[in-house]
Structure 1
Amino acid sequence: MQKFQHKAFNELFDLSGKVAIVTGGANGIGKATAMRLAEAGASIAIADLKLEDAKAAIKDIEALGVKGLAVECNILKDDDLVAMVDQVVTEFGAINILINNAGGGGGGKEDPTKISVDDIRRDFELNVFSGWRLCQLCVPYMKKSGYGSIVFTTSMSSVNKDPNMSGYAGSKAAVNHMVANLAHDFGPEVRINAVGPGATRTHALETVLTPEIEKKMLSHTPIKRLGEADDIAGAMLYFAAPISTWVSGQTIFVNGGGVQTLS
């Protein structure tokens, strides 16, 4: 019978020597995640549309004593994805962790009588196709290294039911199921999971949040506050780190135990 070997607590979260890509990592949940991974010892590449913001975030990361790289990248452009991965491998020599955080869409504004198929297609290009393509590009390097973890940012909208959300919510639901299936393709060396944030205080939420909406959200939330970017980053770190080495194909919702919707 094989004897179970206990690991020291620090080892379970140790990412020293690992290389992580965080898309959309210059601000919000992406930056909080990049910082958490850097604190655990990983070298960080931030791929973002806003290069100057990415460079500023990398300065904060390098202040923690790890290496960083800022790359301008539009996830809707395949050439950008290929070039970004090549740049990371050239700079660091490996890829071990991919945080597919960048995305977007028209959630909350998708009145099906007013939008077009192109609007829905863009939701899927942002949230499904780009992340799938980055998996395809990064997994060979992960398998070569013997350590790989991919984490998608999904959304509570993937399981909620609301008006004017069909494209965005549908694309995030596709992420959940795609992750569950890709786990079978990428194992055993590479794990893939997803984190679904509830209402989290980011710039995007602040543009639509009112005191009335917040009050309603909290009435259905056992932990009586909205989420912070660091709350989501903690779940990202869990999936990225060795502590979750027997976890793959899963979606975890970080939502204070409740359901928060705009309607």
Structure 2
Amino acid sequence: MAAGQDRIAGKIALVTGGASGIGRAIARMFAEQGATVMVADIQETLALAVVAEIAEAGGNAEVLALDVTEEDQWAAAVDGVLERHGRLDVLVNNAGVGGGGDGTIEDVTLDGWRRIMGVNAEGVMLGCKHGVRAMKQTGGGSIVNMSSIAGIVGAPQLSAYCASKGAVRMLTKSVALHCARKGYGIRCNSVHPSYTDTPMVERMIQSRSDPERMRAALASASPFGRMGEPADIAGAVLYLASDDSAFVTGTELVVDGGVTAM
């Protein structure tokens, strides 16, 4: 392991949606920084590939098949981590969906709304519930919830997505206060990226009549003139997972290239 790459050495971390995009970047960065990483995803084959990448680089990782909308799967996943490793130090609730089923408040369907809320909001709630259950047994930990700038500022065509990410933002504060006042030693924070170069965003770009124009528009939305990279977001999550942020809880860390500063 290279010098300085030990910010979360020895920690046991679970990352949902770890098979691709931001989740993959987080899992790889966590392993590089010394953690043992549970790569949790509904896409087991892709998760296995991430675990293989981490192993090839000399890191430690395991696959967890997990549908974040199913509480029994959450309970089994967390119980399995506790049985194998004795504790859970870091939980990153990263799994999320967007796009299909969304629209303006006039266009969104109830089924589409429930699908997005089920993964983005209820999935995070279940993660927090079972993460707290595990962490309080061993004296604390860090929960990081992936929200979005759409949880801070509105987008007219993303009614369900904005609602789901706003829910994550406020749930995070509730969890943080509860755990602090109970003395659990558990911190809970949210991360708010802008458009990031991930497979989900690429699918959205390719769905448009002029993909290159859409790509350019997303890049120009940031004062930096580019979309975020998964590693940009992973670095922020690493800070919140590490002891560097020991006095940080209930906060929202915006990683958007200045979009919300305008």
Structure 1 stretch 243-252 or stretch 74-83: which is displaced more?
Answer: 74-83
**Quick check: 2:100–2:112 contact (8 Å CA) kept in 1?**
no
Q: How big is the alpha-carbon RMSD for the aligned residues of Structure 1 and Structure 2?
A: 2.2
Q: 1:171 aligns with which of 164, 173, 191?
A: 164
Secondary structure class of the residue paired with 1:163: coil
- Tell me by how many angstroms 1:107 deviates: 6.7
Q: Take 1:245 and 1:32, find their aligned partners in 2: how far apart are those partners?
A: 23
Q: 1:194 aligns with which of 187, 190, 197?
A: 190
Structure 2 residue identity aligned to 1:244: S
Secondary structure class of the residue paired with 2:228: coil
| 1:222 aligned partner | 223
Structure 1 portions without partners, runs of 5+: 1-8
Secondary structure class of the residue paired with 2:259: coil
**Quick check: 1:108–1:163 contact (8 Å CA) kept in 2?**
no
1:145 partnered with 2:138: yes
**Quick check: 1:217–1:259 contact (8 Å CA) kept in 2?**
no
Structure 1 stretch 127-136 or stretch 17-26: which is displaced more?
Answer: 127-136
Q: 1:80 aligns with which of 73, 88, 99?
A: 73
| 2:201 aligned partner | 205
Q: Take 2:57 and 2:140, find their aligned partners in 1: how far apart are those partners?
A: 23
Q: Take 1:50 and 1:217, find their aligned partners in 2: how far apart are those partners?
A: 27
Structure 1 stretch 208-217 or stretch 81-90: which is displaced more?
Answer: 208-217
Structure 2 residue identity aligned to 1:56: A
Q: Take 1:36 and 1:244, find their aligned partners in 2: how far apart are those partners?
A: 17
**Quick check: 1:198–1:227 contact (8 Å CA) kept in 2?**
yes
Structure 2 residue identity aligned to 1:222: P
Secondary structure class of the residue paired with 1:207: helix
| 2:245 aligned partner | 244
**Quick check: 2:36–2:61 contact (8 Å CA) kept in 1?**
yes
- Tell me by how many angstroms 1:259 deviates: 5.2
Q: Give the alignment of 1:98-109 within 5 angstroms.
A: 98-106=91-99, 109=102
Structure 1 residue identity aligned to 2:226: R
Q: Take 1:166 and 1:172, find their aligned partners in 2: how far apart are those partners?
A: 10
- Tell me by how many angstroms 1:213 deviates: 2.7
Secondary structure class of the residue paired with 1:150: strand
- Tell me by how many angstroms 1:55 deviates: 1.1
User: Could you tell me the TM-score, scaled by structure 1's length?
Assistant: 0.88
Secondary structure class of the residue paired with 2:143: strand
- Tell me by how many angstroms 1:38 deviates: 0.9
- Tell me by how many angstroms 1:258 deviates: 1.7
| 1:129 aligned partner | 122
| 2:88 aligned partner | 95
Task: Give the % identical residues.
Answer: 34
**Quick check: 2:117–2:164 contact (8 Å CA) kept in 1?**
yes
Q: Take 2:56 and 2:16, find their aligned partners in 1: how far apart are those partners?
A: 20
Off by >6 Å, runs of 4+ in structure 1: none
Q: Take 1:108 and 1:225, find their aligned partners in 2: how far apart are those partners?
A: 27
User: Could you tell me the TM-score, scaled by structure 2's length?
Assistant: 0.88
**Quick check: 2:102–2:160 contact (8 Å CA) kept in 1?**
no
Q: Number of residues paired by the alignment?
A: 251
Q: Deviations over 1:167-222 (max 9, x none)?
A: 11011011111111211111240100111111111111112333323333344422
1:40 partnered with 2:33: yes
- Tell me by how many angstroms 1:163 deviates: 2.3
- Tell me by how many angstroms 1:48 deviates: 0.5
| 2:20 aligned partner | 27
- Over 3 Å counting, the alpha-carbon distance change for 1:182 and 1:38 in structure 2 is same
Structure 1 stretch 101-110 or stretch 167-176: which is displaced more?
Answer: 101-110
